[in-house]
Structure 1
Amino acid sequence: MSSSLDAAVLPVQVPDMEPLNPDAFADAARAPSLRPNGVASAHAAAPPPLLEHELELNGQLANRIVWKALACGLVADGFGWQSGVGLNLAIYLTLVLFSAASVLRLRMGMIPRSSLRLLQLGGVFSFFLILRDSEELQFLNFVACVSCVVLAIAVAQPIPLVRVLSARVRDLVATAMRSGIVTAIGAFLLLFDLTSQTRGTKRVAMLRVVRMAVLSVGVTVAFGALLAAGDPVFRSATLWLVDWNAGTLGTHLAAIAFFSWPVAGLLWGNTAFQRTSLSPATLMHTGVTLRRVDTLAALTALNVLFAVFVATQARVLFGGQAYVLATTGLSLAEYARSGFFTLIVVAVLILSLLLAFNALLDKPGLSASKSMQRLSFSLLSLTGVVLVSAATRMVVYMNAFGASPDRMFAMTIIGALAVVMVWFAMTVLRDRPLHFAFGALVIGWSTLVVFNAANPHALIARNHLDRAGRGELFDANLIALNLSLDVVPDIVAAAEREMRAVLATPLSAVAGVSNPANSRTHACAALGPLAARLKAAKAEHWWSMWNVARWRAERALERSSQALAVCR
C-alpha cells in the first residue's frame, strides 16, 4: 500500500485549467466588501460565486467521488457482516484510504507529504484488523484508521483545516466535529451538485444516455424472454438474472448506501470548492473567557481536595487490610476493585479541565503566571498519585483473581495517561502548547501499535496458565468464552505440555486419586470451547471475517488434532 501511495505523490497536470493560487483563494475568501468609510456593506456577507475553473474541478471531483464511494459500497456489500469483522473491514478501509488519496491527488495536483504519511499510517491500522481477533483491538484499530483518514484530508487543503504538527487540542476536536457533520450531510450536497450539473447541454447528454440505456435494456429483455421460452437450457442458465427477491434486493441496496454514504460525504465535504463552509474555529468559538483569579481559585480548591485524597491513600498504604476493613467493611480485594475505573475517569477529566483552563484564560496559557503554573504542576503531580493508587489497586486485584481484558486495557490506559500528563507538563506548562496535541496523538497511536504487537489476550491466557501452575485460582470460563482466538496457539502448546506431564506420571503416584489429571489439564479444558467457537465462525461467511489469528488457531488445532483429541 505504501508504494502505491508514494507513487501518487507525483504531480498531475490538470488539462485546460489554470493552477490554483492558495494565497489568492484565501484572500478572496476572507476579504469583506467595504464601503468607502470602511464599514462592511449590507451584502458583504454574500459570498462571491465560484470561479469557472473551480466549478469545472468541482464537477471532476463529484464524478470521481461518486464512483469511488459506490466502489466502496459495492465491495462492502459483497462481504458478510453479521458475525463479525476481519478481512471485510480491512479491505473496506483500505479502499477508503485509496479513494481519499485519489481524490486529494485530483484536488491538489499532488498529495501533500503530511497527508501521505497519515494515509500510510491508516494502512498500518487497517492491516492490524486482519492481524488480531480481539474485539477491543479491532474497535481501536478502526478508530485509529478513521482518525488518520480525517486528518489526512484536513491537512491537505489550500487553507488547511488543521496543521497536525502545530494543532491545539481544540483544533483537533473541532476538526473531528466538522468531519462528523460533513460526513452526515456531505452526500446530500454532492447529490445536489450532480443534479445541478445536468442543466443545459449536460442535461441533453444525460437524456441521451438514459434513452440509449432504456432502449438497449428493453430490446434485450424482450428477446431474452422469447429465447428463454423457446429453450429450457437457456432458461435455466439465465434464470438467476430475473429471479429477484424484493427483500434481498432492498437489503443489498441499503448496504451499498450505508457504506457509500460516509465515504462520499467525508470526501466531498472536505475537498469541494465552496465559499461558505463549516469552520473548525466557528465550531469551537464560545466567547467564554476566564479571569486569572477564577482559574487560581479553582486550581487551589482542586489541589486541596486531591491532597486530602492522597492523604487517605497513604493511610491505606500503611494501614493495610485491617484499616480498610475497619473503615469500609470491605476486604482488600473488594476495595481494590471498587472505584478503580472512576479514578481513571477523574484523571482524564483533570487533564481535560487543565486544557480548558489553558484555552479559556483571558491572558492565554496556564504558563502566563508563576502561581498558575505551580498550581497546575501540583495538581498534575497529585493526579499522578491518583493514577498510582488506581494502578496499585488493580495490581492487588489481578494478584487475587488474575488478568482480564478490562483490567489489561485499564492498566494500559493508566500508562498512556501518565505519559500524556508528563508531555502536558513539558509543553503546555512550559509555554509550548502547539506541540502538545500532536504529541498526544503520537502517544496514543504508538500505544496501540505496541498493544497490537504484544497480543494482549495471549498475555492474559499465559497469566492464568501460570497461576494454574502455581496452584492459584484459574478462570477457565474467561479463557474459553471471553478471550479471542488469538490465544489458541498458546493454549494448544500448554495443553500439549499438560498431556505429556499426565502421561509421564507413574501409576503409583496417582493410586487412589479419582481424577489424577483434573488439576493438571486446565488448558485442555479450555481448548474444547475455543475449537467450537472457531468451527462456528467458519460456518458462515468465514472468508469475510478471516484474519491471521484465526488462521494460526486453525493450523495449531490441525497439528494437534490427534494428540489433543481427548480435549475436544
Structure 2
Amino acid sequence: MSPNHGSMATRRSITALAGAFALAFANQYLFYGHVFGVAYSIFMLLLYAYVFHDRRDRWREANGFGLFLFVVVMLLSFTYALFDNPAFQALDFLAVPTLFFLHIAYARGAGRAAWWDVRLIEDALKHFVARSLRHVPTAFRIMKLSTSRKNGLSNNKTALKVAVGLALSLPLLLVIVSLLASADGVFEKALSSVPSWWSNLPVGETFGRLVWIFVAGILFFCYFWGFVKPGHRKMATVPEAGADDEEQRAVGLRIDPIIMMTLLVSVNIVYVLFVVLQFTYLFGAWQGELPDGKTYAEYARSGFLELVAVTLINFALLMLALTALGEMTTARLRRAISSLLYVLVGCSGVMLYSAYSRLILYEDMYGYTYIRFLVHAFMIYLAIMLIIAAVRIRTSAIPLVKCYIVVSLIAYVFVNYVGMDRIIAEKNIERYRESGKIDPAYLLELSADAVPTLAKFAKNEYPNLKPNLDLKRQTLSYKERGWQSFNWARHAAMKELDQLLDK
C-alpha cells in the first residue's frame, strides 16, 4: 500500500468517526427529553447524509427501488410532524428503522442481495449486529490514531494533541466541578465569583447527554464502518431473472404440480359450495333478509374473522401454486392449475366481500373505531392482492413478489397519510345524523387529527361535546412544547379548540 493511499484511508476513518460524533450530538439535541415530532424527519435526513457521505457519486439507491424506499422512509418519518395517531406512531417507531436498515443493506450491503430476495433481511441483520460489533475496537483505535499519527511537522502534531485533550477534558470538567459544588458547600462558596450558571449546571442531564453522545457516536460509526469494511463477502449479487425463477428463489418452497392440483381441487369444491350458499343471503341482508332469523348484530359478527382467516390461507395456497405453475412441463397441466387458481381467486373474492359487508353492517349499528377502520383497510389491501394474483395467473411476466412488496409499502404509507382519526370522526358524525346515536367518550379518545372535525361538529350541531373537547384541550396542553417536538396536528387542534372554547 502506498503512503498516499494509507494517508487517505486514515483521513477517511477519522472523518467518519468525527461525523458519527457530530451525528450523535445532533441526535441527543433533537431527542433528549423531547417527544418525537419534526425532529424525527430532520434526524433521518442527517442519518442518510452520514451513511452516504462517502458515496455521493455512486448511489445505487438513487434510482428504482432504492429511491422508492428512501421516499417511503422519509414519508413515514414525517408523520411524527404531521399527525398525532398513537397507533401509527407506535407502528412507525418499528417500521422506519426496519425499512432504513433494509434500504442501507440493499444500497451498500456486503451481500448485494436483490431487493425482493429474502436474503436481504439476513444481510441487514448481519450489518446491524455482527459487522457493527466487530468494529467497536476500530473506533477506539482511530481515536488513538488521530492523536498519534505523524503529520510531518511536530508543531502540528502537538497542536492536534492539545486540541483533542481540550475537547475531551471540557465536558469532563463541567461534570466534575458541578459534582464537587453539589457535594461541598465551602467549595461551592469559593466558586461564587464564577458566573451562576457554572454552579447551577444540571449534573444529571449533562452527564446523561455526554454518555448519550459517546455511546451513540460509537454505534453510528460502527454501523457505517461495517459497510466500508464488511469483511468477507459470502453472498453473490443475484443475477437478473425471469418472474418464475425469481419467485421460486424468493418463496423457497417446492411442491409437485400434481399434488398442487389435487389440493386445489379439494379446497375449491368446498369453496364453491360455500359460495353457492353464501349467495342465497349475501345481498339479502341489505333488504332486511337475514339468515336463520339472526339479528343484525349476530349476522355482522358471525364468521367475520373466519372469512378473513380463510382468505389469508388462500393467499398461501396461491403462492405455492404459482411456484408450482413455474415448474410445469406440459401446457395441459399448466392450463388445469390456472383454471383451478381462477376458481380459488373468485371464491376468495366472494368471501372477502361477504366479510366486508358484515363489517359495514356492524359499523352502521355500533359505530366506527380504530380496529374497524384498520380491518377495512386490510380487507381492501387483500382485494388488491387478489387482483394482482389473478393477473399473475394469466401471465408469468408479472413479478408477483416484487409487486406485493411495492404495493405493501405504498399501502402502509397511504394508511398513515389518509387521516384515520378524521375519517372515524366523520363517519361517527354521519351515523349520528342518521340514527341520533353517538359516543362522546370514544370521540375523546381520538387523536388531535380528529379535533378540527369534532370542533366544527360541536359548534354547529352538538354543543354537548364541548366539555369533552375542553378535557381534550387540557390533555394536549400537557404535551412538550420544544421545537423538536412540533406537531402540526396538535398545533391545529389547539388553535381550533381555543377558538371554540374561549368565545
The TM-score range, normalised by the shorter chain, is 0.7 to 0.9
Q: Does 1:534 align with 2:473?
A: no
Choose the corresponding residue for 1:491, options 425, 436, 454: 454
Choose the corresponding residue for 2:196, options 236, 250, 263: 236
Q: Kindly provide the CA deviation profile for residues 270-298 of structure 1, in whole angstroms up to 9, marking residues without a partner as x.
A: 554432346798xx799863211222222
Equivalent in the alignment of 1:92: 43
| Aligned CA distance change for structure 1 residues 392 and 254 (closer, same or farther; 3 Å) | farther
2:82 is matched by which residue type in structure 1? L
Question: How far is the alpha carbon of 1:188 from its aligned partner?
Answer: 0.2
- Matched ranges for 1:39-50 at <5 A: none
Aligned equivalents of 2:134 and 2:344: distance in 1? 47
Q: Does 1:175 align with 2:126?
A: no
Structure 2: runs of 5 or more not aligned? 151-156, 182-186, 239-248
Equivalent in the alignment of 2:272: 307
Question: How far is the alpha carbon of 1:407 from its aligned partner?
Answer: 1.2
Equivalent in the alignment of 2:79: 128
Q: Does 1:404 align with 2:361?
A: no
1:562 is matched by which residue type in structure 2? D
Q: Kindly provide the CA deviation profile for residues 93-119 of structure 1, in whole angstroms up to 9, marking residues without a partner as x.
A: 33333333325437x478643334542
Q: Which has the higher contact order (CA 8 A, sep 6+)?
A: 2
Choose the corresponding residue for 2:63, options 113, 116, 121: 113
Greater Cα offset, 254-263 or 552-561: 254-263
Aligned equivalents of 2:276 and 2:214: distance in 1? 57
Aligned equivalents of 2:167 and 2:122: distance in 1? 46
How many positions carry a matched residue from both structures? Answer: 471
- Matched ranges for 1:26-175 at <5 A: 63=14, 66-79=17-30, 85-105=36-56, 108=58, 112-114=62-64, 115-139=66-90, 141=92, 145-146=96-97, 149-150=100-101, 152-157=103-108, 161-164=112-115, 167=116, 171=117, 173-175=118-120
Equivalent in the alignment of 1:369: 334
Aligned equivalents of 1:65 and 1:385: distance in 2? 57
Q: Kindly provide the CA deviation profile for residues 145-202 of structure 1, in whole angstroms up to 9, marking residues without a partner as x.
A: 44653454344359883445xx4xxx1x432343134323332022244456689x77
Aligned equivalents of 2:428 and 2:254: distance in 1? 52
Q: Kindly provide the CA deviation profile for residues 334-391 of structure 1, in whole angstroms up to 9, marking residues without a partner as x.
A: 3323443443343234224422444477827999811222222221121111111111
2:486 is matched by which residue type in structure 1? W
Choose the corresponding residue for 1:190, options 130, 135, 138: 135
Q: Kindly provide the CA deviation profile for residues 502-554 of structure 1, in whole angstroms up to 9, marking residues without a partner as x.
A: xxxxxxxxxxxxxxxxxx435435322321221222xx455444211111111
| Aligned CA distance change for structure 1 residues 64 and 374 (closer, same or farther; 3 Å) | farther
Equivalent in the alignment of 1:549: 489
Equivalent in the alignment of 2:438: 474
Question: How far is the alpha carbon of 1:83 from its aligned partner?
Answer: 8.4
- Matched ranges for 1:441-456 at <5 A: 441-456=405-420
Aligned equivalents of 1:265 and 1:213: distance in 2? 21
| Aligned CA distance change for structure 1 residues 233 and 361 (closer, same or farther; 3 Å) | farther
Equivalent in the alignment of 1:503: none
Question: How far is the alpha carbon of 1:488 from its aligned partner?
Answer: 1.1
1:521 is matched by which residue type in structure 2? P
Equivalent in the alignment of 2:233: 276
Aligned equivalents of 1:87 and 1:141: distance in 2? 14
1:454 is matched by which residue type in structure 2? V
1:494 is matched by which residue type in structure 2? F
What secondary structure sits across from 1:462 in the alignment? Answer: helix
Aligned equivalents of 2:255 and 2:407: distance in 1? 30
Equivalent in the alignment of 1:562: 502
Question: How far is the alpha carbon of 1:60 from its aligned partner?
Answer: 6.7
Question: How far is the alpha carbon of 1:234 from its aligned partner?
Answer: 0.5
Equivalent in the alignment of 2:184: none
Aligned equivalents of 1:366 and 1:132: distance in 2? 54
Aligned equivalents of 2:222 and 2:291: distance in 1? 55
Instruction: Check whether the contact 1:186–1:269 (CA below 8 A) recurs between aligned residues.
Output: yes
What secondary structure sits across from 1:133 in the alignment? Answer: coil
| Aligned CA distance change for structure 1 residues 143 and 341 (closer, same or farther; 3 Å) | farther
Instruction: Check whether the contact 1:402–1:464 (CA below 8 A) recurs between aligned residues.
Output: yes
Instruction: Check whether the contact 1:288–1:360 (CA below 8 A) recurs between aligned residues.
Output: no
Aligned equivalents of 2:32 and 2:168: distance in 1? 33
Question: How far is the alpha carbon of 1:426 from its aligned partner?
Answer: 1.7
| Aligned CA distance change for structure 1 residues 463 and 361 (closer, same or farther; 3 Å) | closer
Identity, % of aligned pairs? Answer: 19
Aligned equivalents of 1:78 and 1:285: distance in 2? 42
| Aligned CA distance change for structure 1 residues 323 and 396 (closer, same or farther; 3 Å) | closer
Structure 1: runs of 5 or more not aligned? 1-14, 18-51, 499-519, 564-568
CA RMSD of aligned residues (A): 4.4
Instruction: Check whether the contact 2:110–2:123 (CA below 8 A) recurs between aligned residues.
Output: no
Equivalent in the alignment of 1:512: none
Question: How far is the alpha carbon of 1:252 from its aligned partner?
Answer: 4.6
Equivalent in the alignment of 2:308: 344
Instruction: Check whether the contact 2:85–2:447 (CA below 8 A) recurs between aligned residues.
Output: yes
TM-score where L is the length of structure 1: 0.69
Q: Kindly provide the CA deviation profile for residues 246-281 of structure 1, in whole angstroms up to 9, marking residues without a partner as x.
A: xx5675567558866875565444554432346798
Equivalent in the alignment of 2:261: 296
1:421 is matched by which residue type in structure 2? L
2:135 is matched by which residue type in structure 1? L
Question: How far is the alpha carbon of 1:398 from its aligned partner?
Answer: 0.9
Aligned equivalents of 1:117 and 1:322: distance in 2? 48
| Aligned CA distance change for structure 1 residues 190 and 421 (closer, same or farther; 3 Å) | farther
Equivalent in the alignment of 1:355: 319
